Amino acid sequence: MRPYILTETNWDALRNENFELAILPWGATEAHNFHLPYSTDNIQADLIAAESARLAWDKGAKVIVLPTIPFGVNTGQRDIYLDININPSTQFAILSDIIEVLNHQKIYKLLIFNSHGGNDFKAIVRELGLKYPKMFICVSNWYQALDRMEYFDNSGDHAEEMETSLLLYLRPDLVLPIDKWGEGKEKKNKIKAFSEGWVWTERKWTQISEDTGIGNPKLATIDKGARYFHDVTIKISKLLCDLCEADIENMHE
């Protein structure tokens, strides 16, 4: 029983506990190229959050990891069989209810631990911040915590070398053999401004990738996944310690 994982701990342990920071991992249920499981984002969210919390807990940080929300925003993937979309307005409702509980129980710090590129919590956090002024709510994307090109040879953002390496390390039993791996070739928008990053539109997944992947996974290895997991959890654990220690009335210098 890990005392910092809510799904494992119990009322006996919790009735006299005072947590400083709640961590809410949030993933998605969606195709990841041909070879990775639909739960790829949830597995990464679960295991990276848990290991980061363990490292922080061992340093005395009072953190509690809430259960991972398994569905994310997949509005651009409605044509992909059993990609399960929940809308941003549903995410708002879920977050609003969870924050109401935390606020009432005086756990005033919340980290939304995001694992899926289609989830975008900024606007939601702004609005809920108005509603719950005592709460300090922040969002992290673990996949942006490190410079991925220091760990991996090929870029990409979906079922690519990084995610494939992580799954080979974390859940090798759920990764299909290499002859099943698609190339993850992304078709770019014909209008150049979109590639420059200053104009945005949602990517319609079936129009941009044959195998649902974005980024070639072929150079993925267990060792690359292990090294990245080690470094990213150390970095995130430092954030958790910093958030626990922070005085939310006095955050700036």
- The contact set with Zn ion (CB under 5 A) reads 40-41
Please, what is the minimum distance in Å from the beta carbon of residue 193 to Zn ion? 26
Please, what is the minimum distance in Å from the beta carbon of residue 100 to Zn ion? 29
What sign does the CA torsion over 87, 89, 90, 95 have? Answer: positive
Q: Which long-range contacts (CB under 8 A, 24 or more apart) does 129-133 make?
A: 131/96, 131/99, 132/99, 132/100, 132/103
First to last CA, the chain: 39
Please, what is the minimum distance in Å from the beta carbon of residue 214 to Zn ion? 9
Residue nearest to Zn ion (CB): 41
Residues in the chain: 253
- 3 state SS of 176: coil
> Number of C-alpha atoms within 13 angstroms, CB side, residue 91?
27
Q: Which is nearer to Zn ion, 29 or 91 (CB)?
A: 29
Please, what is the minimum distance in Å from the beta carbon of residue 157 to Zn ion? 8
Q: 165, 224 in Cβ contact below 8 A? A: yes
Please, what is the minimum distance in Å from the beta carbon of residue 41 to Zn ion? 4
DSSP letters, 85-145, are: B--HHHHHHHHHHHHHHHHHTT--EEEEEE--TT---HHHHHHHHHH-TT-EEEEEEGGGS
Please, what is the minimum distance in Å from the beta carbon of residue 40 to Zn ion? 5
Residue ranges of the alpha helices (H) in the chain? 11-14, 40-58, 88-104, 122-131, 161-170, 192-196, 205-208, 222-245
Q: 221, 151 in Cβ contact below 8 A? A: no
* 190 DSSP 8-state letter: S
Q: Which is nearer to Zn ion, 6 or 80 (CB)?
A: 80
Please, what is the minimum distance in Å from the beta carbon of residue 31 to Zn ion? 10
The CA-based angle 23-26-32, given to 5 degrees, is: 145
